[in-house]
Every structure is written in C-alpha cells, then in structure tokens.
Amino acid sequence: MKTDILIVGSGCAGLYCALNLPEEKDVLVITKAEAECNDSYLAQGGMCMLKDETDYNSFFVDTMRAGHYENDGKSVDIMIRSSQDVVEDLLRYGADFQKDENGELLFTREGAHSEKRIIYREDVTGQEITSTLLEEVRRHRNIRLMEHTTMIDLIAEDNVCYGAVVQLEDGTVTKIEADFVVMATGGIGGLYRHSTNYRHLTGDALAMAIRHGIELKDVDYVQIHPTTFYSKEDNDRSFLISESVRGEGAVLRDKNGNRFVNELLPRDVVTKAILEQMEKDGTEHVWEDLRPIPAEELENHFPNIVEYCRQKGYDVTKECIPVVPAQHYFMGGVKVNHQSRTSMEQLYAVGETACNGVHGKNRLASNSLLESLVFAKRAAQDMMACQDSVKKNLGLIEHLDMGCYEDVETLTRENRRLVKKEIEAAQACARAEQDSEKTEKGE
C-alpha cells in the first residue's frame, strides 16, 4: 500500500491536518476503532479563542500560570495568535457554536481563566468540532479513511521514516509506504483504571518513539481531571463533569456539605484538594453541587451532563452528585518543534500524543482542542514546504521482514509495558528531584 501522507488517528488533530493538505496529495487516515471513537469527540467544555488584542496578555499569563511557567512561551504565543484563524476555518466548515441574538459568538469561562474566552456548543463542543471535520474529510476524494486499522510499527532507517506497518480490520498485517507519517494517536488513558479516555488509547506513538529512539518530552506530566462522575464499576470510562460547570457556579462539598476549595483554581490544585478531602473524610468521592446554576441554564448549557446524571439516579437541580478525580490528559508526549516535527525525519506528531510545550506541567482548561488544531495545521504546512526534499528507500520497503509482526497481540502488550515503564520511571525521577529539593531547603 502506498500514499503521500499517512495520518495515524482520526481525532480533531488528524482530521484537520488532512484537510490542510493540498487536494492533489493522496492522504490516508487510519484509526484503531470507529472514526468517532476518539477523545476529541468527548471534549465537553469548549475551545479557547483570542477575542481581541486586549485579551492577549491575560490569555498568555493564564496559560503559563496553569502550566507552572514550564510552558514553551513561543508555542503558547503561536497557539493564541493562530486561534482566530482556526475558528474561521471551523465556521467555514459548518461548525455551529453558541451565538447571541445578533449572531455573535458567545463565550464562557472555566477554572484558572481570568476572562470569558471559550467558545462552545452546549456541553458537546468536541463532538461538534470533530464531527464537522469528519464530515468535511469525507467530502474530499483525496482523503481515504480506514477504520479498525492499527499502527504496529514505523518503517524507518537511519532516523528517517518511510511509512508504517499496520494491522487491518481482518487481522492482516501489511506495510504502508508514505512520504510523511503523522502520528495523531491521542492519549494514554487506556493504561489507567480511572480515566476519561477511550480504553483503546494506550500511547501507541510513545511506544513507536521508545522503540526507534525518537525524543520524548515531559512524560511524567499526566493531568488528572478533578471531577468525573463516581462509579464503582471498574470497566466504566469515567464520565467527565466539565470544568465549565464550575466556571458557571457549581461548587464542591465534603461529606458534611461544606465547601473546601476555590473551584476555579487550576486543575492540579483542585485535584490535590479533592484527594486530601477524600482522605480526611474517609470517602471514595466528594460532592459537586450544581444547584447554584439556574435550572434553565443547566438544561441549555449542559444537557448531556444533566441527562447522564439523571440516568444514574441524580437530579442535579435538587441534589449534589458524587465526583472523583481521574486521569484525563497527557501534557507530555513525543517531542516536537513549532512545526510539529519529531526528532525523526519525515515523521510528525500532533494532538495529545505530541509535546510542543504549550501546556507546561498542567494544561489550562479548553486549550487542548485549540492546541491540537493549531499545530496540526502547522504540520500540514511544513510537510508541503519540505516535499521537494523527501527521501525514499524502496529497498527497505520491499525487503522489510514481516515475520517479526506475526504475533501482534504480544507486540501490543509489550508496547503498553514500554509506555507505562517510561512514564513511571519519569515520575519516580521527578519525585526524587522534589525530595532532594525539600532536603536542601530543610523542609
């Protein structure tokens, strides 16, 4: 199989990257499950946007502060400055965001934001954006979409990528030759007991990077979302109670009904407070009270959250709901530059699987969709700028030993092990550094 550009992943980053490539290019998008089964679809709250120049400084500072100032300032600047362009594209594709009576975009606010700068579609913003992009992709004859197709390995030699080995829906293992490969494989939630992610998202791009010596960055930076609906079922994907809910007035309460934290602090701070309160109370969850939000606004702004809670036996207009922190987002990933290039030639990474430094140590709410789209477009533009210098290796493709891919199940297990080991080692190293610093300070 052969294509000009192979994109691995059908979330908003992969799809938007495909749409920003010229129509004369043959583009193949593969995805592990159904095209709609990605975390982009699950994003509830919204997407940040620079409203006007007066908001630039506070947007920049909010992002940096949430990331504990470990962000890449240039990446943050690129994301903010590119936001209006991305929104214009989405509106042109047909994305339907909330608007006022004059047809102007409405903005909401979430935790750690100093201003209302988040565009949204009820509480299904990710679904609105990603389904719009998917519909647009399906209109393009140059873009092929293959579902239930899994990347098993990269085809690479001397730090140059020439394609990928994949397993098709029928179990067949084959190779795909490509001028460029874009990894948009999403997060790592499938490695965790409590996660808001789809279970099949297990850090595939990280496994490829580890196997091929591709640089990683900040893999110990794993974000825990403070509020997901508490469930006793081990196999349930954690249902996220959007930060927008707290942005609109919801509060957190302990087992006695008392507030114990400022709900609009950054996610990691709120998460820490919840975990400490749970330990203090001897409980498996705390309570989130949505009753400060008018019932009509709850039904209009958060219909899916209201309905989910109703199905679980809770009327959010009359009672609190049980919430618990869960793994939500991966700030680290495959290290990329400002054009989304990895350390391997002809290989790019975009979306949650990439790390360009925008988020720092902790992601600011509703920056994920924006960051994914901005740097996916930059990847597409950079590939076209480099197309005249593409390297070929027909001998490698032709003589690739496919025998080592016969036991895909074992390879998959090993990939998961490699990723978990890498993350745990980085986290252990970070803890050791923190302990050393405390010792030096005499704490």
Q: What is the CATH number of the domain that holds 301?
A: 3.90.700.10
For the chain, how big is the Rg over CA atoms in Å?
Answer: 22
Closest alpha carbon to 204 in 146, 153, 158: 153
Residue type, 351: G
Coil, helix or strand at residue 388? helix
Q: Which two tokens stand for residue 264?
A: 């609009």
Coil, helix or strand at residue 226? strand
pLDDT, tens only, 263-319: 999 888 999 999 999 999 999 999 999 999 999 999 999 999 999 999 999 999 999
CA dihedral 416, 41, 130, 28 (to 10 degrees): 30
Q: Contact at 8 Å (CB) between 224 and 268?
A: yes
Give 169-176 contacts, CB < 8 A, sequence gap 24+. Answer: 171/408, 173/402, 173/405, 173/406, 173/408, 174/1, 175/1, 175/397, 175/400, 175/402, 176/1, 176/2, 176/3, 176/6, 176/28, 176/30
Question: What's the pLDDT at 66?
Answer: 94
* Mean pLDDT to the nearest integer, 211-217: 98
Same domain, 274 and 366: no
Same domain, 336 and 313: no
CA distance 177 to 172: 16
Residues annotated as part of the active site: 267
* Residue ranges making up the domain that contains 110: 2-221+331-424
pLDDT at residue 235 greater than cutoff 80: no
Question: What's the pLDDT at 443?
Answer: 66
Same domain, 157 and 304: no
pLDDT, tens only, 83-107: 999 999 999 999 999 999 999 999 9
**Chain-centre distance for alpha carbon 419:** 17
Same domain, 36 and 150: yes
pLDDT at residue 22 greater than cutoff 70: yes
Same domain, 98 and 17: yes
Same domain, 270 and 217: no
**First vs last Cα of the chain: how many Å apart?**
60
Q: Contact at 8 Å (CB) between 50 and 81?
A: yes
Same domain, 198 and 86: yes
Distances (CA, A) of 435 to 79, 237, 428: 34, 34, 11
Number of domains in the chain: 2
pLDDT, tens only, 341-400: 999 999 999 999 999 999 999 999 899 999 999 999 999 999 999 999 999 999 999 999
Name residues whose C-beta falls within 8 Å of residue 392's C-beta, 6 or more positions apart in sequence: 162
